[in-house]
Structure 1
Amino acid sequence: MKIFRKALSILMMFVLTSSLCQAQVENYCLRLSQGGSVNCGPMPELDGLSSFTVQLWFNADQWTEGATLLSRGDDLSVTLGKANIINVKMRGTTFSAKSNDFVAGKWIPLMILSTANATQVFVDNTSVRTLSMSRKQPETGASFIIGGDNYIGRIDEIRLWSAELSSEYEYFTHTTLNKWVPQLSDLVAYFKFDQPWCDNIVDYKPLFDTKAQNNHHGILSSTGASREKVTDNSEGLPYLLMGGYTETKRFFDSAIEVDKYLLSNDLIILGLQSYSDGHVKPHTSNDHATVRNGTYLENYKTTKFTGVISLNGSLNSYIRCPETVFSPSNGFTIETWICIDEWQEGAYIFKKENTNVGKGFSVRLGSESSRELIVRIDGREYFFTNTLRTGSWAHLAITPGSGDNALICNVTGRTIGPNAKSDADKNVIPSDMSGMSLSIGLNLNAKFDETMIWNYTHSFDEIAKHRNGTIAMPGPDKKLNNDLMWTNLAWYRYDYPDDLGFDFYSQDEWRNIMARCYDGYTGYKIRISVKDHDGWQSTIADANKRKIFAADLAKESKYYDGVELDMEWMDGLQTNLGLLADEILAVLPKGKTFMISHHQYGAYQFPKNKINKLDGYTFQQYGPQGGWESIGAFKNGYNAFINYGYPKDKIYLSYATTLTNGFINGKYGRAPIGYNWGIIGEDYVPATNGERESGTWSDNKGTYTFYFSGPVNVYNRAKFVRDNQIKGLFYWDLVNDLSPSHKYCLARNANYALNANVDPRVESVTPNYPTAINKVVLDKNEKAVLDNNAATYDLQGRRINPSANYRGIVIQNGKKIMK
């Protein structure tokens, strides 16, 4: 029984396909033509400050003296001066800064950093002017305005801080910000401009800080202000891939928190297994059923049932499960909600039997007068009376019992044993059913919901939980016993009208659970990766098996943005791998990406004439043997890849959150552990030179030394990728990293150099400015025309709701009069 509504069902179906429409976030800026501006409301957080920081990127179409980049009344402004000069007004002082970089037609990263006794102007993190200064910023109620006063050009990445910004992460000049930025409490407003679907400009500060009471969302002027995609600043502010691996085999006990996912814009799921016959299959069960002539109903007889399948026996309708469904060896539970429309003696609720019914399992309708169900197991029949009623919903569960009741029929909590005419055999576990498929609702007129098939015997208490909609499901921050994954449950909820046979206890659903961590966010992709098998080199040497492999992979790519091959130990020229890539490219659906994973140690000799056919190559620069942890080894690997012939936009570099093997006295002691296994204690201090680090960990066999790449090392890797505009940086794996709330979380530190740009999607904003006096902008009649979309304030800072009778603020003889 479900209490979910149609909206939830539609949302879940959207999750199945939403990432397929995503692209990694694209960089947008503010485009201003003459007179265009953005009003960001009063910004009293700057009042009275002596230490604060202003950052922005700008690119002027023409260098017009007096053109304003940004301003706040008469107390703060940044304007273009004469050639190679900008003028700054702040803290009661007007001064100039000169740089040869101050020219039109060029993206310029500008920072004004003010401390208690001085103010500096930086261009690309280099100081070009220092001025002694002792005054504080005047208090004013004027609005913060971007543009206006003849500025024609583009502006990007405006950040206002209420303190001196630390240089620890190079002022974040060449990357964007996320909520983990160390000085978040000092961030007053942040305008990134990467929300092209929003009518106005989003202030990211309240997106990062949910406790923020106000915002500074900007209102675009009616003309002269718009967004524009940035295509010419990839060197200064690159938007690249930041990937993270996870593995479905450990999904139940991994408990990966949502914030870990959001630090990766490229989620790579190691979820497919290759086999020696050429086939590729999911790591974990993926038992979607085929539905014949079934009809989706939003609900039936009660709104407690939403997403119901209707079967009509006269139309030969049924649900056919894969052969892998229901193959018990020690126990089983088979259960469903069912409403029989017409009692048809001999019609099957469940049937998985051979043609002579000597082997297999089935549940069919018997005599209607006694409301009889007949369960047949390997030809032996067990009869149950007073079970289901025509026209009424009931929850039916069949499971092994004990003693005289070796088989139990449970109907909505009522336990019914087999009657006297039943077979006396107490062995109720079906024998081998290989080659057979389970059918549900064969020749039956009925409605079904919440059908579950287990190779596991559940207690009556557990069945009651299932009946009431409670089932142990994995999820972020939710750690379960990994053994649950292998109970081989198939769960048909019939919630997707276009995919009625979808298995909700499947690898595709694990993918959906991960995808839901990105709900409300944009800029991510989800890909599926194939694991190798022993002797895989021989497998792909067979032309027919390559075709089988490619066809299976194309099929399994259905719910993913792309595919990857993670085939280990590829020594020598990979001719056959190149031939396999050809087969995959020939059948992979349009729009899916295709990458291959390589190792740094030397196994990356993919055929040079085919390198550009693929979207990229994930280079694994880590391993249990060690030797890959230093930043020097990382850069040496990149140089080797370049020298072999890989273009930098195909090279996807990496780090690991797993450590090396553990060593005792220089000798192997145990397999790798995770970075989050406690090796980072309270007294841990990262190696500031970014070289490989070591730590110790103990068990009952001894104390081991492990080697790893620490947070500074990982930051430097991301910086190297950013500075060289390489394809991206990924890591293995999400499970073994520290929580993003920990300052030494590796993915968090990588994002400090190269942000993943997985941002909340904002389609509209409602300004909620701090109380202050709003800057008055006059029209030709000396009236401030109200924008119905903007928050407006009176002289006491009270919010004004515009009306047809309100004309604005009139200036008469220097006095402001409400009218």
Structure 2
Amino acid sequence: MPLLWKTSILLAISHDSNILPAHLQPLPSRGGHIRWNWIGDEHLNKTTDIIYMNASVAADGTLTGVSDFRATKFNGVTWLKTHAGREGVFAFKGPKAFMSIPGIVLPQDLKTFTFEASYAPQGAQNAELIRSGDFRIAWKGDTLSIQNGANTYQGSIPAVPAGQWVQLGCVVKEGIPSLFVNGKAVALLPGQSQPLTSIGNATLIGSGYTGMMDELRVWKEARPATRLGRDISPTWADRLLYFHLPADTKRSMGEDKASWASQIAWIRSRLRNPADHMVRLGIAGGAWKDMLRDPKARQKFAGEIASIVNRYKLDGVDLDFEWIEGPYKGDPPARQWDNYADLAQRIRKAQPDMCFTISLHVVCYRMPKKGIDAVDYFTFQNYGPSSARYPFDDFTRSLAAFRKQGFPDSKIMLSVPFQGTGDAKADSVRLYSDIVAQHPNLPPTADTAEFTYPDGTKRKMTFNGPATIRKKCEYAKAQKLRGIMYWDMGGDVRTDARKGQTDYRHPKALLPVINEILKGRR
């Protein structure tokens, strides 16, 4: 069997003499590492199987996190290269101007979210800035009206000089909106609701608006006022971007930059030889335990996987459902594992020709034989918040346990971390690049170092340096396993720890070490 190697962050994998798998993980945000421009082209091109971790599942088996919002109709809307200090903007030429997007670009319950955008109006307005489902913001004269379901609120805004930029933000928390103009709160009073003519499952942007617009964003949170209008940053605080409509280029006009489909396209555009790579969707989290309990939900989930693989011409999927330990709603672990195996069989039947993998953990791996048979291979997570997962001895012990469970060597892919842990639960985990940034002279044999967190706390950080990565890869190769997975691509050394791209040529980079062992070349 060929060796198959996986990385992380997107989930990229590499096998035989030409492939190295790896995860390219967007974090809990939608494509954070891509959006923050952390991923260098060499890391993508040196990884053959790229798994974009973004989707989840609902209790009824619906695949979530895979919305593909994209403006399909422009009426009286054009792209301008510059306006008043901004590069790339939309120009709306009301009163018949609008942009139409299939789908509702707001969270469906309309309870907690944030809408924000920058506008440079030309003259008095009588426009709808957005209409999406039962949510609407209208601008008439000096009044903004916000209608959320059956409730309407109104506020007076300061006059905006023609052509000058103003940043508007509407923060909805538990269904109640707050309005901000250039970051300052504007008082809202109850207004008279107007019947909304149904536009169906669609969103209209800028209906009747005259002027320029830029950086329209929807966040799946009640955004702090201090963050409105700020540049999107590579931080936990900016993880919940739900919809993003910039006007960067004419070619990408109307494209949702927060969309997983947009980021899949970005990945493919960076591959020098696309035919040499697999691009797959990673599915993790959500109400997966409830989905597993229901045969109808399992069947629906399998069908939705087949549908999205075919629609977007993906090479397959990876499931990352972990932590079947104790009983769940009366189901003992054995029943949960049997249901998981049944799901694997249904997915294989629904899309027999795709690459189908499942990620399991060192302490949660009791997959029955029928599930093992249905899957191409399994990636096992030899890392975590616990430092006990990082040593070489734990790496070898885990292989013995997987073999005892019945996993054949051809379906076992062990993993190496591009991160470290301070042994204080998940919030102590930091990227390998962060560790190297604090210790630029770190020797290749080091697997521990003192790490200072942003709040000044110092902890012993446990990780795997180049020497241990090499030793683990040599062991996996000698054991003739399916390969090595690394988590994750964005964690490798970067040119700048905060905003630089992964640097494949850096002397402390980890991915070249994996390639050297598995492929015989860096």
Report the alpha carbon displacement of residue 630 of structure 1 after superposing the two structures with TM.
3.9
Alignment match of 2:412 (pick from 637, 643, 651): 651
Alignment match of 2:299 (pick from 517, 522, 547): 547
Secondary structure of the residue that 2:319 maps to in structure 1? strand
Corresponding letter in the other structure for 1:675: Y
Report the alpha carbon displacement of residue 754 of structure 1 after superposing the two structures with TM.
1.6
1:399 aligns with 2:168: yes
Report the alpha carbon displacement of residue 673 of structure 1 after superposing the two structures with TM.
3.9
Secondary structure of the residue that 1:540 maps to in structure 2? helix
Report the alpha carbon displacement of residue 446 of structure 1 after superposing the two structures with TM.
10
CA contact (8 A) 2:131 2:204 kept: yes
Cα pair distance change 1:388/1:439, threshold 3 Å = farther
Corresponding letter in the other structure for 1:399: L
Give unpaired runs (5+ residues) of structure 1: 1-18, 26-233, 340-344, 355-359, 367-371, 411-423, 464-470, 474-478, 759-819
**How many residues align structurally?**
458
1:578 aligns with 2:337: no
1:377 aligns with 2:146: yes
Bigger RCO (CA 8 Å, 6+ sep): 2
The match for 1:244 is: 23
Report the alpha carbon displacement of residue 567 of structure 1 after superposing the two structures with TM.
1.4
1:675 aligns with 2:432: yes
The match for 1:324 is: 106
Corresponding letter in the other structure for 1:605: R
Cα pair distance change 1:472/1:507, threshold 3 Å = farther
The match for 1:754 is: 518
- Counterpart-to-counterpart distance in 2, 1:261 and 1:593: 19
Q: Deviations over 1:237-276 (max 9, x none)?
A: x444332342333626976340444443233333223444
- Counterpart-to-counterpart distance in 2, 1:702 and 1:445: 51
The match for 1:600 is: 362
Secondary structure of the residue that 1:750 maps to in structure 2? helix
Report the alpha carbon displacement of residue 575 of structure 1 after superposing the two structures with TM.
0.9
Report the alpha carbon displacement of residue 618 of structure 1 after superposing the two structures with TM.
0.7
1:528 aligns with 2:289: no
Report the alpha carbon displacement of residue 289 of structure 1 after superposing the two structures with TM.
5.0
Corresponding letter in the other structure for 2:131: K
Cα pair distance change 1:262/1:644, threshold 3 Å = same
The match for 2:493 is: 738
The match for 1:622 is: 383
Cα pair distance change 1:701/1:554, threshold 3 Å = same
- Counterpart-to-counterpart distance in 2, 1:428 and 1:561: 52
The match for 1:773 is: none
Q: Deviations over 1:493-539 (max 9, x none)?
A: 59899x98641233443444455554577633333322235x74343
- Counterpart-to-counterpart distance in 1, 2:216 and 2:399: 50
Secondary structure of the residue that 1:717 maps to in structure 2? helix
1:567 aligns with 2:316: no
1:491 aligns with 2:245: yes
Q: Deviations over 1:153-204 (max 9, x none)?
A: xxxxxxxxxxxxxxxxxxxxxxxxxxxxxxxxxxxxxxxxxxxxxxxxxxxx
- Counterpart-to-counterpart distance in 1, 2:235 and 2:296: 40
Alignment match of 2:51 (pick from 247, 252, 268): 268
CA contact (8 A) 2:24 2:53 kept: yes
Report the alpha carbon displacement of residue 654 of structure 1 after superposing the two structures with TM.
0.9
Secondary structure of the residue that 1:270 maps to in structure 2? strand
- Counterpart-to-counterpart distance in 1, 2:168 and 2:387: 51
Secondary structure of the residue that 2:280 maps to in structure 1? strand
Corresponding letter in the other structure for 1:509: S
Report the alpha carbon displacement of residue 579 of structure 1 after superposing the two structures with TM.
1.7
Secondary structure of the residue that 2:301 maps to in structure 1? helix
- Counterpart-to-counterpart distance in 2, 1:301 and 1:704: 50
Alignment match of 2:259 (pick from 506, 510, 517): 506
CA contact (8 A) 1:654 1:731 kept: yes
Corresponding letter in the other structure for 1:523: D
CA contact (8 A) 1:240 1:756 kept: no
The match for 1:794 is: none
The match for 2:4 is: none
Q: Trace 1:400-415 onto structure 2 (pairs within 5 A).
A: none
- Counterpart-to-counterpart distance in 2, 1:472 and 1:441: 22
- Counterpart-to-counterpart distance in 1, 2:191 and 2:356: 44
The match for 2:138 is: 363
Secondary structure of the residue that 2:379 maps to in structure 1? strand
Secondary structure of the residue that 2:296 maps to in structure 1? helix
CA contact (8 A) 1:336 1:451 kept: no
Corresponding letter in the other structure for 1:247: P
Q: Give identity over the alignment, percent.
A: 16
Secondary structure of the residue that 1:527 maps to in structure 2? strand
CA contact (8 A) 1:325 1:490 kept: no
The match for 2:481 is: 726
Cα pair distance change 1:338/1:524, threshold 3 Å = farther
Report the alpha carbon displacement of residue 636 of structure 1 after superposing the two structures with TM.
4.0
Q: Trace 1:695-734 onto structure 2 (pairs within 5 A).
A: 695-697=449-451, 704-734=459-489
CA RMSD of superposed structures (Å): 5.6
Secondary structure of the residue that 2:384 maps to in structure 1? coil
Give unpaired runs (5+ residues) of structure 2: 1-9, 171-177, 326-332, 495-503
Report the alpha carbon displacement of residue 736 of structure 1 after superposing the two structures with TM.
3.3
Give me the TM-score of the superposition, normalised by structure 1.
0.44
- Counterpart-to-counterpart distance in 1, 2:143 and 2:507: 62
Cα pair distance change 1:271/1:757, threshold 3 Å = farther
- Counterpart-to-counterpart distance in 1, 2:169 and 2:383: 49
Structure 1 stretch displaced more, 267-276 or 515-524: 515-524
- Counterpart-to-counterpart distance in 2, 1:662 and 1:351: 47
- Counterpart-to-counterpart distance in 1, 2:169 and 2:393: 62
Report the alpha carbon displacement of residue 707 of structure 1 after superposing the two structures with TM.
3.9
- Counterpart-to-counterpart distance in 1, 2:449 and 2:28: 28
- Counterpart-to-counterpart distance in 2, 1:494 and 1:675: 32
Secondary structure of the residue that 2:104 maps to in structure 1? coil
Report the alpha carbon displacement of residue 681 of structure 1 after superposing the two structures with TM.
4.2
1:281 aligns with 2:64: yes
